[in-house]
Amino acid sequence: MAVFSPESSLVAEVIPSPNHGERKNGVQPSLILLHYTGMPDAQAALAQLCSKASEVSSHYFVFENGHIVQLVHEDRRAWHAGVGAWGGETDLNSCSIGIEIANPGHEHGYPDYPKRQIAAVTALCRGIVARRKILPHRVLAHSDIAPQRKQDPGEKFPWKVLHDSGLGLWVPPEPIVEGPFFSLGDRAIAIEEMQMHLHEIGYLLEPTARYDGETMAVVAAFQRHFRPERVDGIADASTRMTIAALLKAWRAVRDAPPPEPAA
């Protein structure tokens, strides 16, 4: 495996993974995907990402203590996203940079993310965004692009911390209150409107006015990222109002004039 120089001054060491290829059609990275490792032992997770037999990898790996390892050069297509979609893009490996965050995940106790680890992830993302000219709101969860398969980095990941550092799209979640809700099997025009809003934000979801399994998975993914207090896939008033607030924020970002070029 060819050794390369780290692309971030935050990288403590380079451990090359053999699992990468060409970015298709010359695509440049335009988003960052955050994952958790989902394994009890961080070293074992790192070893798997560097094993040719596993056929998985990421560009970066962040240990609980903030130690950062680079596995794949950013110019290369790491194998971290799998099948998924965002904003109409389906080859997410080609257009993204993947960061694996050491955390056992939902199947192994799912502990809180240490502050040192989050500080390292935040600083790493800020550097990538600046260096690669990635729009700051295009820092996403693995569960956002693959709602029916993935839960990571999960509802304990502190997205507000990243947002306060200029990364990611985020709005304060609306409080949970008793009231009408939509769940599996329901049909309504309001469901179709919600599906259209989630699709506009970027989720792969067609407006059908039916609350089916796909809709429930997308709503749960949205909750993990933007309304983490209760993740149940049910479109209660809090979830629907938070979706509306996020859509407003997304449209403001989309419609903002491009920044002035540097003098």
Catalytic pick among 22, 55, 74, 100: 100
Residue type, 237: A
Is 100 marked active-site? Answer: yes
Catalytic positions = 100
